[in-house]
Amino acid sequence: MIICGRFGARFVCARRRAIILSLPDCDINTMQIDAESLSLAWLWACRLLALLVAARAALGVDWKGMLRDPSAVHRFAACVVAMMVLWSIQATVARGPGLHILGVTTVTLLLGPATALIATLLAETVTSLTSNSDNAVAASWLAGSVLPVLVTDGCRRVVRRYLPRDPFSFIFGCGFFGAALAAGMAHLGAFLMVGGPDQIWSGAVPSAAGFLLLIAFPEAFINGCLVTLLVVYCPQNMAGYDAGYERRRRL
């Protein structure tokens, strides 16, 4: 038993060293993509696309209605501050991908897609300025915020159209599944943006499927729990939870 235990411990340590050595010396963090990992053409293309998306989102926000409602302003500011704090906490697998919770799904369902894009842009800008690193803010925002917002809003539209109008469909379809899919697509988009399609399969992570599962499960759990609390206690404050769900409320 002692020999088996020592052999198993040595095997695990050797496996960990092999994984660490297989990781490339690059910064692959969804919220903070290193500008050196992108070409100049990619940087300007991301900046132009981010400018167009931000302008379109700013036009879609009801600024007058928000300013007339102090609670809406408080929700917007609270989401910005919460994402700034949440994105500053991360874990890194050796020198490989940076792992952290996005929380974009909850913000999108609470504020709406257009307002969520502006909130994430502010949080991303402040986070990049305070990180003391040369980051591609536009590329980071597109991969870590715009893509999850679009995926979450797409899940909301699918759930609203094809699933029964009750809170359970909204919670599990948008909160849990939507958050998992949004996180997976965000990190997948960041990998493709940084290193091309072969980045995932050439040793950037020990297992692509395992890595996506590793980030999707906690994202789904945390966002799903938050969406559940919001639906139960304050559904009137959620932009994505319309009156159709409230009429058939079963909770």
The whole-number pLDDT of residue 80 equals 95
229-244, pLDDT tens digit by residue?
Answer: 999 898 888 998 876 6
pLDDT of residue 92: 59
CA angle 41, 46, 50 (to 5 degrees): 155
Measured CA to CA, the distance from residue 188 to residue 190 in angstroms comes to 5
Task: Identify the pLDDT of residue 138.
Answer: 86
Which pLDDT score is estimated for 4?
Answer: 44
**Distance (Å, whole) CA 198 – CA 190:** 13
Tokens linked to 41:
């053409």
| β-strand partners of 99 | 91
Residue 111: per-residue pLDDT: 95
What the block records as the tokens of 109 is: 């369902």
DSSP secondary structure, 96-107, as one string? SEEE----HHHH
Per-residue pLDDT reduced to its tens digit, 19-76: 333 333 444 455 667 667 677 888 888 899 999 999 999 999 999 999 999 999 999 9
Which residues of the chain, if any, have pLDDT below 50? 1-28, 94, 248-251
Question: Six-digit token pair at 140?
Answer: 């980071």
Q: Residue 70: what pLDDT?
A: 92
Show the domains of the chain with their CATH numbers: 26-247 (1.10.1760.20)
| Maximum distance among all Cα pairs of the chain, rounded to whole angstroms | 72
pLDDT at residue 14, rounded to an integer: 39
